[in-house]
């Protein structure tokens, strides 16, 4: 039986390390999906939101639940958002808290747009019409869960 030389051992170890690193997901392996959300927001100073939606990812549909809270809101409004979800490796990556800070006013109808990110690096780029009356000088956020 032949004993491996120092250089051969080094190359064998390097090949094993490369094979291990290659199994970890990279940014290039992350995929993009689409999402539709319907959210109702209401509040007097402290506000809340509740809604549902669908994630379309990997030729499948995943039903979502959306909840949230905020400080500095007044009024009631509904918003129907559509957009893209990027940096997904699996559907459960969309689960989590997304934060938002901003100001806005919706009287009757208007457009909403937001780019949000969770702690897993998933980015939501959303836009859509908002109806109702709402004044917001708020710091708030939303949480998404798969139903």
Over residues 108-144, the pLDDT tens digits come to: 567 778 888 999 999 999 999 888 877 665 556 789 9
**Which 3 state secondary structure label does DSSP give 115?**
strand
57 contact partners, CB below 8 Å, separation of at least 6: 31, 33, 34, 85, 88, 91
96-117 β-sheet, strand order = 31-57, 60-88, 123-146, 96-117
Torsion of CA 42, 44, 48, 52, to 10 degrees: 0
Mean per-residue pLDDT for 85-111?
Answer: 78
- Would you state the pLDDT for residue 2? 55
Using one digit for the tens of pLDDT, what is the confidence trace for 42-72?
A: 888 788 889 999 999 999 999 999 998 877 7
Residues above pLDDT 70, as percent of the chain: 69
CATH architecture of 27-146: Beta Barrel (2.40)
Mean per-residue pLDDT for 72-80?
Answer: 83
Integer Cα distance of 131 and 106 in angstroms: 7
What is the average pLDDT score of the chain?
Answer: 79
Is 31 a residue whose pLDDT tops 70? yes
Is 84 a residue whose pLDDT tops 70? yes
Q: Answer with the residue of higher pLDDT: 10 or 113.
A: 113
Bridge partners (DSSP) listed for residue 146: 64
- Would you state the pLDDT for residue 75? 85
Integer Cα distance of 28 and 117 in angstroms: 18
Which DSSP string corresponds to 104-145?
EEEEEEEEEEEEEE-TT--EEEEEEEEEEEEEEEEEEEEEEE
> At 21, is the pLDDT very low, low, confident or very high (cuts 50, 70, 90)?
very low
**Structure tokens belonging to residue 147:** 């139903």
Residue 67 CB neighbour total at 10 angstroms? 15
Is 100 a residue whose pLDDT tops 70? no
Taking the whole predicted model, whether its pTM rises above 0.85 is answered as no
């Amino acid at each position: 039986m032949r004993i491996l030389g120092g250089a051969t051992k080094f190359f064998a170890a390097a090949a094993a390390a490369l094979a291990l690193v290659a199994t970890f997901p990279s940014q290039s392996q992350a995929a993009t999906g689409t999402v539709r959300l319907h959210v109702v927001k209401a509040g007097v100073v402290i506000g809340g939101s509740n809604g549902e939606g669908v994630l379309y990812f990997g030729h499948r549909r995943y039903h979502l639940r959306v909840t949230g809270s905020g400080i500095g809101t007044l009024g009631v409004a509904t918003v129907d958002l559509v957009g893209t979800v990027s940096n997904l490796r699996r559907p459960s990556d969309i689960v989590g808290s997304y934060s938002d800070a901003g100001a806005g006013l919706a009287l009757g109808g208007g457009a909403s747009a937001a780019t949000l990110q969770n702690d897993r690096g998933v980015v939501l780029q959303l836009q859509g019409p908002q109806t109702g009356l709402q004044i917001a000088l708020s710091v708030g956020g939303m949480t998404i869960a798969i139903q």
